[in-house]
Structure 1
Amino acid sequence: MKRKREMETKTEIRSAIEELSMLTKAHSAAVADVAHISTKPFLHVCTLILQVLDKIGPTMAVLRQDIHQNIQRLEILLESDPTMYSNLIEMLKKEESEGNARKGSSCSKAFLWLTRSMDFMAALLQRLVKEPEQNMEQAVQESYNVTLKPRHGWISSAAFKVALKLVPDNKTFISLIMKKDQNYENLKEDMQTLISLLVPLLEHIHSILRFYRLDRLKSS
């Protein structure tokens, strides 16, 4: 209950900053020669990022559903065997050794697409910080082009293109992700802090995904 009340007094971005800080500390504290990404904190960060994504509106409905399903898949796995699946890297190793990593319902693919979804959000936040006056539709489109589009097939790309027209304007989106007692400069600082924590983590994850040859997988 205490954690829930604390979450209600913070923006999703500030909550994500706290979770990422803890995840980074846990990663740094891990044995140097053992790759480790804690599953539960990672999924919590994804959930918070998902809540920010919700503020963009119906245009992100398909992506939101994919993120939610991938989070659920990994949560079920973690509950089934907390010892084995508390580390996402061990999960990759297990599925790779069993030959299941590239199968449609694999948890490795869920991890991959969650990472790519966070790539999109990181790119979008970077654009909003760098060019706050940029048209929101353009910012979403350009962020999509450099993150998700190269890995999406024509069905996913077409669905995104149709829904893009529903993106809110900049002022509406900014007002939705701010608390009432917050101003834009505070929000900008929070976004910059989130980016500084999120981007290095994503780069680290992508290096691991490349090692397991999962980085080039595409959707329909």
Structure 2
Amino acid sequence: MAYFNTIKRSFADVDLSNGIDTNEFLEATEGMVKIFDVIGSTAFGFVQNDMNGNIKRLRLRYESNPEKNDTLEHLLEGESDESKRLATEGLLWLIRALDFTAKGLTRSLDNPDEELTYSFSVAYETTLRQYHNFLVRPVFAVSRYALYK
């Protein structure tokens, strides 16, 4: 239960009244990424590092002007005219990784006799695989294999 004590905010508590509150979304996401520490496998190091990198992109954009970037919608709007859209790209990949995590954990809970590696393998196939090239796919295969150790 120590994991739950480390979370600043749940996704259920993110204010959606005027759009998705950027800071609250980032706090909830930072808490979610810590779930990989609880699983305790280095297999998710790649995913965890990627998610933290994308959180950092969004946090830097947010902190550059918190009033202008108060919601994710405003943050994306503000970046829309720029040639490099680092926060937009970060949000896209972060959402994909959150979907992967949610599907892997949900499948594991729904199938308690199933190996965690299989649950996340199925989640990978249905969420991230289509966006990864032939160089990245083996990294995920090795990561999933590391769950057995």
Q: What band does the TM-score fall into relative to the shorter chain?
A: 0.7 to 0.9
Match of 2:70 among 86, 91, 96: 86
Matched pairs, number? 148
Q: C-alpha separation between the residues in 2 aligned to 1:56 and 1:137?
A: 13
Closer/same/farther in 2, CA of residues 92 and 46 from structure 1, 3 Å limit: same
TM-score by length of 1: 0.61
| AA matched with 1:11 | Y
Contact kept? 1:39, 1:87, Cα under 8 Å: yes
Query: Residue 101 of structure 2 aligns with which residue?
Result: 121
Alignment of structure 1 residues 163-182 onto 2, 5 Å: 163-168=143-148
| AA matched with 1:20 | F
Query: Residue 118 of structure 2 aligns with which residue?
Result: 138
What is the CA-CA distance between 1:94 and the residue it aligns to?
2.1
Q: Name stretches of at least 5 consecutive residues in structure 2 with no aligned partner.
A: none
Query: Residue 26 of structure 2 aligns with which residue?
Result: 43
* Pair 1:19 & 2:10 matched: yes
Closer/same/farther in 2, CA of residues 13 and 117 from structure 1, 3 Å limit: farther
CA offsets, 1:104-126, max 9 Å, x none?
xx110001111111101110121
Match of 2:47 among 57, 63, 70: 63
Contact kept? 1:74, 1:110, Cα under 8 Å: yes
CA offsets, 1:104-161, max 9 Å, x none?
xx11000111111110111012102211111111111101111111111122211111
Contact kept? 2:61, 2:75, Cα under 8 Å: no
Query: Residue 129 of structure 2 aligns with which residue?
Result: 149
Contact kept? 1:141, 1:164, Cα under 8 Å: yes
Structure with the bigger RCO (C-alpha within 8 Å, sep 6+) is: 1
Q: Name stretches of at least 5 consecutive residues in structure 1 with no aligned partner.
A: 1-8, 31-35, 170-220
Larger Rg: 1
Q: C-alpha separation between the residues in 1 aligned to 2:142 and 2:10?
A: 34
Query: Residue 76 of structure 1 aligns with which residue?
Result: 60
Q: C-alpha separation between the residues in 1 aligned to 2:43 and 2:110?
A: 23
Give the 3-state SS of the residue equivalent to 1:40 in structure 2: helix
Identity rate of aligned residues, in percent?
A: 22
Computed over aligned residues only, the root mean square deviation of the Cα atoms, in angstroms, reads: 2.2
Contact kept? 1:84, 1:91, Cα under 8 Å: yes
| AA matched with 2:118 | Q
What is the CA-CA distance between 1:53 and the residue it aligns to?
2.0
TM-score by length of 2: 0.87
Contact kept? 2:105, 2:120, Cα under 8 Å: no
